[in-house]
Structure 1
Amino acid sequence: STVTDDYAPQLLTSEYQRGGVFAEMSAWLDDQISADNAEGFYKPYDVDRGGVAPEPWHISYRPVAEGYFRQLSLSQCLPLWRGDADPAGQCHAPLQMMSLLETDAEAIFKRYVLMT
């Protein structure tokens, strides 16, 4: 192991780059994904697509992620962003600066959620 038992990941790109504590594991996983040998796992934020910054630690399981992704809509997200109750009846704090977000919600949703 390249880290101690009490190591707390910092979620920094440098941890996954050459010389980083997770570099070897990340390179191995990237090779598996490239070879289509990752059993359905992939990195949705592997590169900057103009929205979410690269997150080399973010790994998703495509069969599950795509199912949720197909169900995702702005009309579902907006109430949650406003702090309304979710389908289970739980209320959450609204996003900061919601009034600004709502004025361009569709474009923000496409860029940062759908990443299109």
Structure 2
Amino acid sequence: MLEIDAVIDNKPTKALVKELAELRIRNLLCFRELEALNENGKFLYKHPLIRNYSERVKLETMFREDPDRFLDEFGNTRENVKRYTSFLKNKKRSPEQKEKDRQNLDKHKDRKQLFIDITKQNNGN
């Protein structure tokens, strides 16, 4: 964030401002997670790293214990990515629907990447 902040002071661009804002949001989420852990002894599972870690543990267990279900879930996730990508291209959907579609697409893309990472990790790549 410090590097981007220094560049923004001299030559601001939309991309850098957006990246700085996203980093700031993730940073605030991180502090909230740590605060919740400190106060309650439990994470909120809102920050992408922690949320994905929790999901990753579940998927890794599924990969080892029930590979058929793992593959079915992977297929479902890939179909969800296709579905929400298609929804976003549909001109008939309202802006509210498109925002939800964008959020769902991001969620399913993240999950798809977890499936890919777990598969690669267990194939020695």
TM-score, scaled relative to structure 2: 0.26
Please identify which structure carries the higher helix content.
2
